[in-house]
């Protein structure tokens, strides 16, 4: 399911309704619940391929179950969460004889993360993209999340604009962020106002111990000094800052969002190393 939280859901159906036809109850439900479904088989196949095989997959916003059933062909078990009781009931009825699929009638964000390793995959409601991503990043057992998001969101999180977001930098030592391709708005019904993308977040095999790193990044992104170098010199000794930036290969005038996430742990280590 997908909706543009920045521009609203301007589907063909809703445009017609505003033109004088009036909305049906289902139209209103789709708007309220951010319901735009992937209907193109090639797009579904691309999402499944990007997800890969897993023993357990949680799917936020299972909707009509097109992606749910496709994921079940490559994964051991798929647990589909659907907050719309009508859609959840239909999907549960259609898949009641398929042991690979379990449908949960409720909000994915209220779900308790499994203790065992699991993946998340789904065509998520765009109005709660950030909340779903935050849920995934907090789950200790998460191995990866493969999500359809607004193209702009995916580009922002993966550095595709040539800039890096604070969330990406804060989580980079533990998670990789990758844009795995665009999805035209035409593969959805109703058709949303913006194009989409497949965003892949994957937990790294090695988890470094970096206490204080997230707060360090948050301070760096305050931009108090203009450049990152100037900001850090407001908090740390000038000679140590100069040495850290030289070791990381970061020019002193570099704007904070242009510093690659790989370089932040180097800066952190150099600025906090007291030996």
Choose among 91, 41, 96: nearest CA to 70. Answer: 41
| CATH class for the region spanning 213-272 | mainly alpha
The pair of three-digit structure tokens given for residue 68, joined into one six-digit string: 């749910």
Burial readout 214-252 (b: 16 or more C-beta within 10 A, e: otherwise): eebbeebbeeeeebbbebbbeebeeebbeebbeebebee
pLDDT at 274: 56
d(CA 137, CA 25): 35
> Rounded to whole angstroms, what are the CA distances from 244 to 2, 8, 24, 191?
43, 45, 61, 49
pLDDT tens digits, residue range 110-156? 999 999 999 999 999 999 999 999 999 999 999 999 999 999 999 99
Annotated ligand binding at 9? The verdict is no
Q: Are strands 56-60 and 118-123 parallel, antiparallel or unpaired?
A: parallel
- In the chain, the N- to C-terminal Cα span, in Å, equals 52
Q: What is the pLDDT of residue 60?
A: 97
Q: What is the pLDDT of residue 148?
A: 97
Tell whether 19 is in a known binding site. no
Domain extents in the chain:
27-203, 213-272
Would you state the pLDDT for residue 29?
46
pLDDT for residue 225 = 87
Tokens 């951010």 correspond to 34
Residue (of 142, 194, 185) closest to 6 by Cα position: 194
- For position 273, what pLDDT does the model report? 77
**Residues with pLDDT less than 70, the chain:** 1-34, 274-275
The tokens for 71 are 């994921």
CA dist., res. 239 & res. 120, Å (int): 45
27-203 domain in CATH 1.10.490.10?
no
pTM > 0.75: yes or no: yes
Instruction: State the Cα–Cα distance between residues 129 and 157, nearest whole angstrom.
Output: 12
Residue 53 and residue 47 in contact, taking contact as beta carbons nearer than 8 Å: no
């Amino acid at each position: 399911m997908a909706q543009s939280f920045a521009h609203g859901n301007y589907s063909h159906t809703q445009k017609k309704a505003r033109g004088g036809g009036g909305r049906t109850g289902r139209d209103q439900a789709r708007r309220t619940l951010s319901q735009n479904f992937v209907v193109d088989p090639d797009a579904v196949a691309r999402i499944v391929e990007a997800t890969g095989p897993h023993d357990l997959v949680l799917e936020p916003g299972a909707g009509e179950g097109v992606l749910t059933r496709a994921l079940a062909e490559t994964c051991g078990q798929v647990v589909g969460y659907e907050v719309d009781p009508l859609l959840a009931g239909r999907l549960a009825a259609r898949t009641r004889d398929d042991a690979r699929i379990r449908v949960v009638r409720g909000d994915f964000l209220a779900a308790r993360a499994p203790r065992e390793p699991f993946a998340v995959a789904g065509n998520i409601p765009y109005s709660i993209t950030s909340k779903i991503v935050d849920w995934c990043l907090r789950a200790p057992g998460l191995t990866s999340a493969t999500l359809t998001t607004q193209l702009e969101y995916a580009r922002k999180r993966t550095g595709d604009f040539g800039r890096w977001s604070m969330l990406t930098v804060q989580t980079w030592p533990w998670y990789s962020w990758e844009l795995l391709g665009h999805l035209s708005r035409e593969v959805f019904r109703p058709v949303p106002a913006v194009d989409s993308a497949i965003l892949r977040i994957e937990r790294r095999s090695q988890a470094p111990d970096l206490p204080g790193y997230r707060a360090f990044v948050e301070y760096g992104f305050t931009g108090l000094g203009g450049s990152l170098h100037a900001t850090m010199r407001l908090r740390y000794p000038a000679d140590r800052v100069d040495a850290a930036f030289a070791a990381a290969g970061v020019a002193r005038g570099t704007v904070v969002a242009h510093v690659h996430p790989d370089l932040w742990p180097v800066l952190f280590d150099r600025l906090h190393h007291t030996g």
